[in-house]
Structure 1
């Protein structure tokens, strides 16, 4: 059971690699693990679990009887599993009703909604789904997600993010919202097929939204960003046509760079791992760039490849990987 293994004392790098490979085999694997995790974390807060543990506490205290060859810790595990089973059905229902879906750093998650729409959440993403009789709404708090929208002309599919609305009927598009000064593309909408209309949200306030509605064609990418150089808050908007395969490489657990400034590439790599890559002050001033395809979540391989490309060395520093020049 992956949940037990990853939270146990024997967790190691090989186990984490094997776990990622298992997740990559099937979206169903990722979704099953997420549901199990949600249940595991929420069970102690359910009334069913509290009642179950209270009943155990009221039982007469007896001397523990240990079966030969069975460590005592399995008895504790059995009690936890019992509580998990008791509360599991309750929590699973609550999990579905809330409509909240999220991923942690380095994780992806595939979700099939009731109407047949499929969502693929990228690393460190949080969103909420709210389906009504006249409209299907998804609110993205942050991160990146791909939406393959089931057709329903009577109920438009609307993604709300950072003061903008992406309106579709039946189409495929991705939304990315990175609320960080390190990223130039604070909000991007990339249309893969179909048609979408990007417009300001009513009452959006000081947010990332186009001045007027923008209609995207397949292959278009809309980028909205605050102009940091302007005296007053100004949202800059541009539409370009990127290489879709490269832009959506994250679906394959890859990142593709083409003459990308090294600092920007590192910002992107760091989204997928808690092992952060950094540049020494000297390397920052060198204005280096990088091209290639790299595996998400593998910061060490990326750092070593960049070091080999530019004649740098990798130094470990408090759990971080720093790229610096040879002295």
Structure 2
């Protein structure tokens, strides 16, 4: 639908400008400031055009129609062109605008982030797809949904970079050539063991199923993890190692989504990684706490089952959008 995937486009800023211009109290000064931002760089202008294209897309129109109350429903929708301030649409209610903003950001930022990974990765998985690899040294890797991996295991060192997503490694022992996995700020070193690394939102989580691993960070000494232990690494350093619930932390390795007393919002965020579109939930349901164990190969069906736990229903607006809402 939107084919401009140039990673240099300041899409997040364009979406921020777009959303701010929909406020009820928007004034001429703010519109002119947006116009100046668009004129300052051709990339800004292209990002703005893309934000407008998102606004008039069928996906967003259908979502607003499904979630807005009658008084909030958009009328006379037209693109906003900051250089011609008279071309505006009628402002939406706060609730509808919140839904619109969420969808636009999810669509737009996903486009901008993907191209660099395509250029760096040796192996990638699409949404909802898991893939098993056997590396040249005999090590086995299970790549989770939406994962990008770069590998180099044929030289004196065995090196792998997890660019995004999650991967479970079963490493062939070779004391002369330790196996290293880099994921953002974390570097994991092993000789032979089975462990998972998850790298999302600038956080690397390392979970060990059996054996031991060393987890390093540029800012300090390495931490050694044993079977059943886990640690989170961010740009600021390595967190405290702790015992992991392996059935939940590594449930995806067995094709399961396992959770205990978790907010529905967090569960759906995880499930959404396997759904080829968006799964959205209103604030009135998002904090309901639930426990369960579900298959990952049919996320729409799982979402329906989760809705039943909180007395809600699912509304499939299109193949690209699934909404949970309270039952009437």
User: For each residue in 1:91-111, what CA deviation from the matched residue of structure 2 results, as whole angstroms up to 9, or x when unmatched?
Assistant: xxxxxxx98111111111111
- Residues 224 and 238 of structure 1 are in contact (CA less than 8 Å); yes or no, is this contact kept in structure 2? no
Are 1:142 and 2:164 counterparts? yes
Q: Following the alignment from structure 1 to structure 2, what is the Cα–Cα distance between the partners of residues 159 and 200?
A: 12
How much does 1:242 deviate?
1.8
- TM-score, with length taken from structure 2: 0.59
Q: Is the 8 A contact 1:195 1:215 kept in 2?
A: yes
Mark the CA change 1:154 to 1:279 in structure 2 (over 3 Å): closer, same or farther: same
Shift of 1:292: 1.0
Aligned residue pairs, count: 208
CA distance in 2, matches of 1:99, 1:325: 41
1:248 to 247, 250, 256: 250
**Match of residue 264, structure 1, among 260, 263, 266:** 266
Pair 191,198 (structure 1): closer, same or farther in 2 beyond 3 Å = same
Instruction: Within 5 Å, give how 1:220-259 maps onto structure 2.
Output: 220-225=229-234, 234-235=236-237, 237-259=239-261
1:105 aligns with 2:107: no
Aligned positions of 1:173-252 closer than 5 A: 173-179=195-201, 186-201=203-218, 211-225=220-234, 234-235=236-237, 237-252=239-254
User: Contact 1:168/1:197 (CA < 8 Å) preserved in 2?
Assistant: yes
Distance 1:121 1:191 in 2: 16
Query: In 1, Cα distance between the equivalents of 2:139 and 2:301?
Result: 35
Q: Is the 8 A contact 2:185 2:234 kept in 1?
A: no
- Kindly indicate whether the alpha-carbon contact (under 8 Å) linking 2:137 and 2:153 is maintained by their aligned counterparts in 1: no
Cα offset for 1:200? 1.9
* 2:299 matched residue in structure 1: 299
Q: Which residue number in structure 2 is paired with residue 282 of structure 1?
A: 284
SS at match of 2:265: helix
**Deviation readout 1:28-67 (Å, 9 max, x if unpaired):** xxxxxxxxxxxxxxxxxxxxxxxxxxxxxxxxxxxxxxxx
2:150 aligned with 1:128: yes
Name the residue aligned to 1:165: 187
Return 5+ residue gaps in structure 2 as ranges. 1-119
Query: How far did residue 320 of structure 1 move?
Result: 1.6
Q: What is the TM-score of this pair, normalised by structure 1?
A: 0.59
Rg: which structure is higher?
1
- Classify the secondary structure of the residue corresponding to 1:304: helix
Question: In angstroms, what is the RMSD of aligned CA positions?
Answer: 2.0
1:249 Cα shift?
1.7
Partner of 2:22: none
Gaps in structure 1 of 5+ consecutive residues: 1-97, 181-185, 202-209, 227-233
Structure 1 contact 273–297 (Cα < 8 Å) conserved: no
What's the CA shift for 1:296?
Answer: 1.1
1:316 aligned residue = 316
User: What CA distance in whole angstroms lies between the structure 2 residues aligned with 1:99 and 1:170?
Assistant: 24
Q: Displacement of 1:236 after TM fit?
A: 6.1
| Partner SS for 2:239 | strand
Q: How many Å separate the matches in 2 of 1:179 and 1:306?
A: 25
The Cα of 1:262 is off from its aligned counterpart by 0.7
Query: Which secondary structure state, in structure 1, belongs to the residue aligned with residue 220 of structure 2?
Result: coil
| Aligned counterparts of 2:233 and 2:121: Cα–Cα separation in 1 | 27
Describe the shift of the 1:149–1:311 C-alpha distance in structure 2 as closer, same or farther (beyond 3 A). Answer: same
